Structure 1
Amino acid sequence: MTEIVAFVPMRHSSERVPGKNYRPFAGRPLYYYIVETLLNCPQISLVCIDTDSPTIMEDAATQFPSVKLLERPEHLRDGATPMNDVLLNSVAQVPADYYLQTHSTNPLLTSATVSQAITTFLDQSEHDSLFGVTRLQTRFYDAQGQAMNHDPNVLLRTQDLPPVYEENSNLYLFTQKILEERKNRIGSNPLMFAIDRDEAWDIDEEIDFRVAEFLYRDRQSQ
Structure 2
Amino acid sequence: MIIGHIGARKGSKGVPGKNFRDICGKPLIDWSLDQLFESKRVDAVVVSTDSEEIYAHAVAKGALEIGLRPAHLATDTAGKWNVWQHALEEAEKHVGPASAFLDLDCTSPLRIEEDIDQALDLFFAQKPDMVMSCCDARKNPYFNLVEPDETGALHVSKPLPGGVVARQQAPVVYEHAASTYVVDPAYLKQAQALFEGRVIPYVMPASRCLDIDEEFDFRLVKLLMQEQLNG
TM range (shorter): 0.7 to 0.9
Give the partner amino acid of 1:42: K
Q: Name which of 186, 190, 205 aligns with 1:177.
A: 186
In structure 2, what residue type is equivalent to 1:25? I
User: Quick check: 2:19–2:107 contact (8 Å CA) kept in 1?
Assistant: yes
State the one-letter code of the partner of 1:77. Answer: A
Q: Is the 8 A contact 2:44 2:64 kept in 1?
A: yes
Query: Which residue is equivalent to 1:108?
Result: 110
Matches within 5 A, 1:67-216: 67-70=63-66, 71-95=68-92, 96-125=98-127, 127-138=128-139, 139-144=144-149, 145-148=154-157, 155-156=165-166, 158=167, 161-216=170-225
Query: Per-residue deviation at 1:211?
Result: 0.8
Contact 2:122 2:131 survives alignment (8 Å): no
CA drift at 1:177:
2.5
Q: 1:32-73 CA deviation, whole Å, 9 max, x = no partner?
A: 1001122222221111111111111232333x1x22243212
Deviates more, 1:212-221 or 1:94-103: 94-103
Greater mean alpha carbon deviation, residues 177-186 or residues 4-13: 177-186
Amino acid at match of 2:64: K
**Matched residue count:** 216
Contact (CA 8 Å) 2:135, 2:175: kept in 1 or not?
A: yes
Change (3 A) 1:54 1:13: same
1:59 lines up with 2:57 in the alignment: yes
Could you say what the CA RMSD is over the residues aligned between the two structures, in angstroms? 2.2
Percent identity between matched residues is 24
Structure 2 residue identity aligned to 1:182: A
Aligned partners of 2:164 and 2:170 also within 8 Å: no
What residue ranges of structure 2 are gaps of 5+ in the alignment? 93-97
d(CA) in 2 for partners of 1:82, 1:153:
37
Please tell me whether the aligned partners of residues 136 and 166 of structure 1 are also in contact (alpha carbons under 8 angstroms): yes
- Displacement after TM superposition at 1:185 (Å): 3.7
C-alpha deviation, 1:150, in angstroms: 7.2
**Structure 2 Cα separation of the partners of residues 154 and 124 of structure 1:** 32
What TM-score results when the alignment is normalised by the length of structure 2?
0.84
Find the partner of 1:14 among 8, 12, 15.
Answer: 12
What residue identity is the alignment partner of 1:117? A
Query: Could you tell me how far apart the structure 2 residues matched to 1:132 and 1:121 are?
Result: 12
Distance in 1 between residues matched to 2:183 and 2:207, nearest whole Å: 25
Distance in 1 between the 2:72 and 2:169 partners? Answer: 49
SS at match of 2:19: coil
For 2:18 and 2:31, locate their aligned partners in 1 and report how far apart those are by CA, in whole Å. Answer: 13
Bigger shift: residues 23-32 or 138-147:
138-147
Structure having the higher helix fraction is 2
Secondary structure of 1:93's counterpart equals helix
Following the alignment from structure 2 to structure 1, what is the Cα–Cα distance between the partners of residues 224 and 159? 31
Cα distance in structure 1, aligned partners of 2:76 and 2:202: 28
